[in-house]
Amino acid sequence: MKKIFYLFMTTLALVTISCDNNFEEINVSPDLPTETDPNLLLSFSMLNCQNTIYDMFAGGDMGGVWSQQWSKGQYNDEELYVPRTTAFNNFWDVMYVNCISEASSCYTLAGAEGNTNLQGAALVVKANAFQVLTDAFGPIPFSEAGVSGNTKPVHDSQENVYNGIIALLDEAETLFASGSGTITPATDLIYGGDVTKWRKLAMSLKLKALMRISKVRNVSTEVQNVLASGLLFSSNTDSANLTYNATQPDANPTYETVVFGNRTEYRVSSILVNKLNSLSDPRLPVFAQLNNSGVYVGNTPGTTTSSVASFSAIGTKYLQATAPGVVLSYAQVEMYLAEAYNEGIIPGTLTDAKTHYVNAINANFEFNGLVPSTAYTSSAVVDFTTQVEAREKIATQMWLLLYGQGIEAWTEWRRTGYPALSPVLNAAITAIPKRFLFASHTQSYNNANYQAASATLNNGDSMLSKVWWMN
């Protein structure tokens, strides 16, 4: 027995010695990569960002429903302003972990390769994600977000977050201007590697950020500089639309929930249908389907029904598996320019405002497969002759062109107040929510910073508290 034991130990020693020789080479699996392609990180980041924004339990239940473009005939707690805590938590976590963090890693790795174009795209995705987050929650971790070893990041004021977002977009423009490196077309789900279009997106997102805060800060010079750059979107071909696939799990999230998941409770609202009818708007058959009686009827927000089929479903264009995830459209950019001229942010006339207003409407018609209509844009209910009239109509048309982009539609409504909306019937609180609640785990694990951030809000961590640019 001892001989066997000694033989075993001797063999083990020899194996151990031999394994020490070239151990690193032997222990590397040929099937596992040792380096990460930063292009894949960019793809992962942009996909998770859009999936979160379009997630029907956030972009639908809260964005689309709170903006009163959609309504839920059943299972409508969110419509009554009783959202699930998990929806807020998921939105917060995915945007930080799967979007912002991955974009930051992409930026770092691309920088090591000297690929400034990929770095610029990563900053654009990151800036957009931060804007979506701060617009939804208010003061959020920004300067200390993702800092190694810091598990309790401070919540920056929304004003400082916006300064940081604009700085990220400025840095992206500097990187694009230097023009080194490429973006792999197959992993670029928005522009297929077209750096020129990424550069336009950076500048167009800067315009969006500036106009979002234009009621609380003088942005006139900055907006004029953005316009003078010549880098804003100039047609629908510039719009930033993320491409989805025709099948699960890479289809548009609206399709995945409503069609694939058979969630038929999602309907268009009576507010939307009535507004479109009052304008004789040809987008109604695109935005909505006929009900079971062959007419367009929206559900009254806040009411439940035993027969959702009696109300119009969401239009089939917006339920397609391959419907794009819109990051920013040419139509939205044009409508911001219309507003900027109308408000004197850009020096000009009412005619200048009207030119961009018509451009925006026509672009949205084309996006929806419709032929631009002079009869529509020149009609008394759509056209305007005064600044005050223009203010309401520009904002209302912005609300319409953001159809299907629930979070963005709700956010623009919060900023402008148009169209005039009232809390839904049977609402649990006294007003349409003005913000998301902070992720619940921030209260448990980052309580001091949570309390400090909540104290800066006029009603604390409440859905009734205004975000900064609403003042």
Angle between helices 330-342 and 350-367 (to 10 degrees): 160
Question: What is the tens place of the pLDDT at every residue in 199-246?
Answer: 999 999 999 999 999 999 999 999 999 999 999 999 999 999 999 999
For residues 74-92, average pLDDT? 96
What CATH number was assigned to the domain covering residues 39-248+323-470? 1.25.40.390
373 burial via Cβ count (<10 Å: 0-12, 13-18, 19+):
middle
* pLDDT of 25 above 80: no
Question: What is the tens place of the pLDDT at every residue in 92-126?
Answer: 999 999 999 999 999 999 999 999 999 999 999 99
Question: What is the tens place of the pLDDT at every residue in 273-328?
Answer: 999 999 999 999 999 999 999 999 999 999 999 899 999 999 999 999 999 999 99
More confident residue, 43 or 10: 43
Q: Please name which of 283, 397, 405, 389 lies closest in space to residue 336, comparing C-alpha atoms.
A: 397
pLDDT at 54: 97
* pLDDT of 180 above 70: yes
In angstroms, rounded to a whole number, what is the distance separating the alpha carbons of residues 82 and 437? 11
Please report which confidence band the pLDDT of residue 35 belongs to, taking 50, 70 and 90 as the band edges: confident
Question: What is the tens place of the pLDDT at every residue in 353-367?
Answer: 999 999 999 999 999
Q: What pTM value is reported for the model?
A: 0.92
Angle between helices 406-416 and 116-137 (to 10 degrees): 60
17: which 2 tokens?
């010695």
φ/ψ of 433, rounded to 5, equals: -50, 140
In angstroms, rounded to a whole number, what is the distance separating the alpha carbons of residues 43 and 62? 26
Question: How far does the chain reach from its first CA to its final CA, in angstroms?
Answer: 86
In angstroms, rounded to a whole number, what is the distance separating the alpha carbons of residues 206 and 76? 36
Task: Write the CA distances from 203 to 206, 218, 426, 432, integer angstroms.
Answer: 5, 18, 43, 32
339: which 2 tokens?
């507003």
Please report which confidence band the pLDDT of residue 176 belongs to, taking 50, 70 and 90 as the band edges: very high
* pLDDT of 58 above 50: yes
pLDDT at 374: 98
